Amino acid sequence: MLLAASTGIVGATVVTMGLLSLPAMLQVGYSKPLSCGIICASGTLGQIIPPSIVLVLLGDILQGANTQAQLAKGNFAPDPVSVVDLFAGAFLPGMMLVGLYMLWVLLMGLLRPRSCPPVERPTGGERLGSRVVRVLVPPLILIVAVLGSILLGIATPTESAAVGSVGAMLLAAQRIDRSVRRPVLLAGSAVVGLVLVTGSFDLRMQRDVIPTGDLIAALVAGGFCVVLLWGLVVSLDRIYRSGILTDVMRSTMQISCMVFLILLGASVFSLVFRGLGGERIVADVLNTMPGGMFGAVLLVMAVMFVMGFFLDFIEIVFVVVPIVGPILLQMDMSPVWLGVMIAVNLQTSFLTPPFGFALFYLRGVAPPGIGTMDIYRGIVPFVAIQVIGLFLIAAFPALATWLPKVLF
Question: Is residue 141 within 8 Å of residue 206, measured between CB atoms?
Answer: no
What confidence tens digit (pLDDT) does each residue in 256-298 have?
888 788 888 888 888 888 888 888 888 888 888 888 888 999 9
Q: How far apart are CA 335 and CA 81, in angstroms?
A: 7
Question: Is residue 388 within 8 Å of residue 350, measured between CB atoms?
Answer: no
Q: How far apart are CA 230 and CA 224, in angstroms?
A: 10
What is the pTM (predicted TM-score) of this model? 0.82
pLDDT of residue 398: 93
pLDDT of residue 94: 92
Q: How far apart are CA 154 and CA 278, in angstroms?
A: 43
Of the candidates 347, 332, 302, which has an alpha carbon nearest to the alpha carbon of residue 320? 302
Q: How far apart are CA 106 and CA 84, in angstroms?
A: 33
Count Cα atoms within 13 angstroms, Cβ side, for 69.
25
**Size of the chain, expressed as the number of residues it contains:** 408
Residues ≥6 apart with Cβ < 8 Å to 143: 2, 5, 6
pLDDT of residue 160: 80
pLDDT of residue 224: 92
What confidence tens digit (pLDDT) does each residue in 298-341 have?
999 999 988 888 887 888 888 888 889 888 998 888 999 999 99
pLDDT of residue 121: 64
Name the residue ranges covered by the structural domains of the chain.
2-119+126-407
Question: Is residue 304 within 8 Å of residue 342, measured between CB atoms?
Answer: yes
Q: How far apart are CA 45 and CA 355, in angstroms?
A: 18
Q: Which residues of the chain have pLDDT under 50?
A: none
pLDDT of residue 126: 55
Q: How far apart are CA 241 and CA 230, in angstroms?
A: 17
pLDDT of residue 122: 58
